Structure 1
Amino acid sequence: MKLLKSALVAMMALGTALPALAESHAKTKVGFIFVGPIGDGGWTYEHNQARLAVEKEFGDKVETVYQESVPEGADAERAMTQMALSGANLIFTTSFGYMDATINVAKKFPNVKFEHATGYKRAENVSTYSARFYEGRAVQGLLAGKMTKTNKIGYIASFPIPEVIRGINAAYIQAKKVNPDVEFKVVWAYTWFDPAKEADAAKALIEQGADVILQHTDSTAPQAAAEKAGNVYTFGQASDMAEYKPKPRISSIIDNWAPYYIERTRAVMDGTWTSTDTWDGIKEGMVKIGEITDAVPAELRAEAEALKDSIASGEVHPFTGPLKKQDGSDWLAEGETADDATLASMNFYVEGLTGSIPN
């Protein structure tokens, strides 16, 4: 009798466990590897907002996991491996420096789908995606060129990769169009997120006379440095950085990853995921321009909005000739626009920019 009761209890327990087990297996597990902390106020913050959007969209059909502040290199490979071993079906690796690690881990886990941000190496189970940030930089360049009083614009650059070089060039071209006297001063910080280094870079640029500062680093430290200095304008990077509105933060580039993350998660869930390369911009809504504040004259705000709309419609391309390279050699003829292959591998400054690009 005791054996029969024990068997019944076991069967009842198994019966209640099976639905829970089935529910667990039905969930799609989506992982995220972040290069900075989710509270950085910039790049990683927006990727994490997109992760939360995935949870909101799919509810209990998904489980998301993430690891933040993962250094590029061997640490990233270990973090991805652990995430794959934990049962992740889809993993987003959200920094350029994760590229080789993503490819290496993907080879070991052919049934896991990987999405690598801003890289160019793909595989059967690895997609790449990025945004045309340079379109937003062009709008910033227009505003910067008109807002500067000293004609000196500072640019805090992270690493000398094509994405960053494109941004510098795009901002400079537009600033020069509206202000022929403008001069760019570029400081290479060699970091994506380091508030102390970013603050020091901003201070150095301000000391050199820059009264407008753009950045391709992820923290709000340059905004804080500019606020303390006074009479210096800044732009939010990757996120709105709204706590510094209406000044010094007069506008921003906002990376809107949520629609893409939702779409790719759905593709894994319904079995339609394939390896692709996505490079979207203002038109598709992956790049947004944050509110242009009242610190900017109304006429200039309208001009910047018009440029944004023209880029979205395809009427304007930020890289349209005539343009020369820094060394004076011809690049784009009158009316000619740069092709994506050249933009994707950009390793040169346009004419007028001073200084050299580090190796």
Structure 2
Amino acid sequence: MKKLLAFVMAAAMTLSLAACGGGSSSSAGTSTPAGTSSAPAASSTPADTADFKVGAIYINGQNDTAGYTFQHHSGITKAMENLGLDPASQLLIVDNVAEDYTAVSNAIDTLAGQGANIIFGISFGYIDAMNDKAEEYPEIIFSHATGYMGNDTNFNNYFGRIYQARYLTGVAAGLKSLEMGNNSIGYVAAYNREYAETCSGINAFALGVQAVNPDAVVHVNKISTWGDENLERQAAQALIDTYDCCVIGQHCDSAQPQLVAAENNVFGCGYNSDMTEQAPNAHLTAAIWHWDVYYQAAIETAMTCGGAENFVTEMGGNAYYAGLSEGFVDASTLNELVAAPGTAAAMEAVRELIDSGEWDVFSGVKLNITVDAEAGTAAVEQVDAPLMSDGYELKDGEVVEMANPEIVPAGGASVTDDVIKSGMNYNVAGVMEG
């Protein structure tokens, strides 16, 4: 199959999501993708919401100005304000909580004692404590980001197709590498094959890079922790010093890789929040979350579902999973000051394909993207081609050679959601770790 599609730049789409409850619909709405669990239409929130309390457990500080915790905190406060709640008096926070069972359990006990009606835990390592505490406190709703556990009543998990946004940022990185005449791109990763969340992000970023610069190599420096600013900084510097990387991508919590890129007169693609403010002369774009989309749905449901035991049913299941077309993930506004000419058109062309459902990242159809910077257009050629791994996978904690490095045959359907969410343990061709 070959298709040639020409796209001119278009205005960014306006997306929103309805919360769930049951009754008349709220002011915002969107559809749920096939095979995912999201919320049905919601009733109006109760007139008296003064006693409702939202609890949140953060891995970093609530006053962070960029990155992972910052984006979650911004999403929660925005959602609360949209629902007529006052974050200053109705948001209870325990922050800087390590991924330690006892620490998380103590944080939950604190929030429960303060009267939290719903508790959000934003880091993967909180999952076991939240699972146990959901049973201990059946009258409280528990909602866990990036996890996989849940029950049938008061405990769910939420995540999304952030790999779609990472592909878009990979396009920006690849075009910048072409402009600079440098095929070496770096990526600071919390983990790699150990978690499908990190592995799929690396792979999507690399495939986006390759769509515009097939000769590029993505060098991954793994720091084996979600958030350590010193290690993030050191890893980014090592990628520049060792491989002469001209663009630094990241899957870690802070803006340190972008600051290092700026200090070395190279460029970068951030994560979680728009990091242009932190590195205005280096940051191209970031894969970002609009967490308020989920938080508004979850909080409104918690207020209208008639009790914690009804929460999971009213949310349509215990696993929320949405993507670009629902407005849950995206690439941040392109920094035209430093982006290569034609980048915006190329990113918009890919966004249109993903949003329409015509194409997705991990299929047996690759994109070949060329830009006409002067005309402001991008040509996207869809070509049947197998999705190939680098030939290795993680098994029982060891990286071993794969029996078959072909992941998807030419023209084949995309890798399924369950693999992307929890089963991707290989890197695609063109990724090098270490």
Task: Say yes or no: does 1:145 pair with 2:161.
Answer: no
Contact 1:325 1:331 in 2 (8 A): yes
Q: Please, which moves more after superposition, 123-132 or 113-122?
A: 123-132
In structure 2, C-alpha distance between the alignment counterparts of 1:43 and 1:60, rounded to whole Å: 23
After TM superposition, give the deviation of residue 46 of structure 1 in Å. Answer: 0.9
Q: Please, which moves more after superposition, 203-212 or 273-282?
A: 273-282
Contact 1:282 1:312 in 2 (8 A): yes
Contact 1:198 1:221 in 2 (8 A): yes
- CA shift in 2, pair 1:85/1:200, >3 Å: same
After TM superposition, give the deviation of residue 225 of structure 1 in Å. Answer: 1.1
Q: Name the structure 1 match of 2:369.
A: none
What count of residue pairs does the alignment treat as equivalent? 333
Q: Name the structure 1 match of 2:110.
A: 82
- CA shift in 2, pair 1:237/1:25, >3 Å: closer
Task: Return the TM-score normalized by structure 2.
Answer: 0.73
After TM superposition, give the deviation of residue 245 of structure 1 in Å. Answer: 5.5
* Structure with the largest fraction of helix: 1
Find the residue that maps to 2:83 and give its secondary structure.
helix
Contact 1:27 1:60 in 2 (8 A): no
Q: Name the structure 1 match of 2:130.
A: 102
Larger radius of gyration: 1
Q: Name the structure 1 match of 2:226.
A: 192
Task: Say yes or no: does 1:346 pair with 2:346.
Answer: no
After TM superposition, give the deviation of residue 253 of structure 1 in Å. Answer: 1.6
AA matched with 1:47: H
Q: Name the structure 1 match of 2:257.
A: 222
Contact 1:40 1:218 in 2 (8 A): no
AA matched with 1:119: G
Question: What is the aligned counterpart of 1:333 among 384, 388, 409?
Answer: 409
The runs of at least 4 aligned residues of structure 1 exceeding 4 Å deviation read 23-26
After TM superposition, give the deviation of residue 26 of structure 1 in Å. Answer: 5.7
Q: Name the structure 2 match of 1:130.
A: 159
> % of aligned pairs identical?
32
Q: Name the structure 2 match of 1:48.
A: 73
**Where in structure 2 are the equivalents of 1:1-359 lying within 5 Å?**
27-38=51-62, 39-60=64-85, 63-73=90-100, 74-123=102-151, 124-148=153-177, 149-159=181-191, 160-208=194-242, 209-230=244-265, 232-244=266-278, 246-271=280-305, 273-274=311-312, 275-294=317-336, 295-321=338-364, 322-327=386-391, 329-336=405-412, 337-344=414-421, 345-355=423-433
CA RMSD for the aligned pairs?
A: 2.0
* Structure with the largest fraction of strand: 2
Deviations 1:188-223 (A, max 9, x none): 112222221111111101102111000011111111
Deviations 1:30-84 (A, max 9, x none): 1011111121511110111122113312335781111111001221121112212
Task: Return the TM-score normalized by structure 1.
Answer: 0.88
AA matched with 1:217: C
Find the residue that maps to 2:390 and give its secondary structure.
coil
Q: Could you list the runs of 5+ residues in structure 1 that have no partner in the other structure?
A: 1-22
After TM superposition, give the deviation of residue 177 of structure 1 in Å. Answer: 2.8
Contact 1:218 1:238 in 2 (8 A): yes
AA matched with 2:186: G
AA matched with 1:323: L
In structure 2, C-alpha distance between the alignment counterparts of 1:291 and 1:26, rounded to whole Å: 36
- CA shift in 2, pair 1:301/1:246, >3 Å: farther
After TM superposition, give the deviation of residue 86 of structure 1 in Å. Answer: 2.3
Contact 1:245 1:293 in 2 (8 A): no
In structure 2, C-alpha distance between the alignment counterparts of 1:141 and 1:25, rounded to whole Å: 43
Contact 2:216 2:430 in 1 (8 A): no
Q: Name the structure 2 match of 1:6.
A: none
In structure 1, C-alpha distance between the alignment counterparts of 2:182 and 2:322, rounded to whole Å: 34
In structure 2, C-alpha distance between the alignment counterparts of 1:276 and 1:191, rounded to whole Å: 27
Contact 2:166 2:331 in 1 (8 A): no
Q: Could you list the runs of 5+ residues in structure 2 that have no partner in the other structure?
A: 1-46, 365-385, 392-403
AA matched with 2:416: D
After TM superposition, give the deviation of residue 114 of structure 1 in Å. Answer: 0.6
Q: Which structure is richer in relative contact order (CA contacts within 8 A, separation 6 or more)? A: 2
AA matched with 2:91: T
In structure 1, C-alpha distance between the alignment counterparts of 2:111 and 2:48, rounded to whole Å: 17
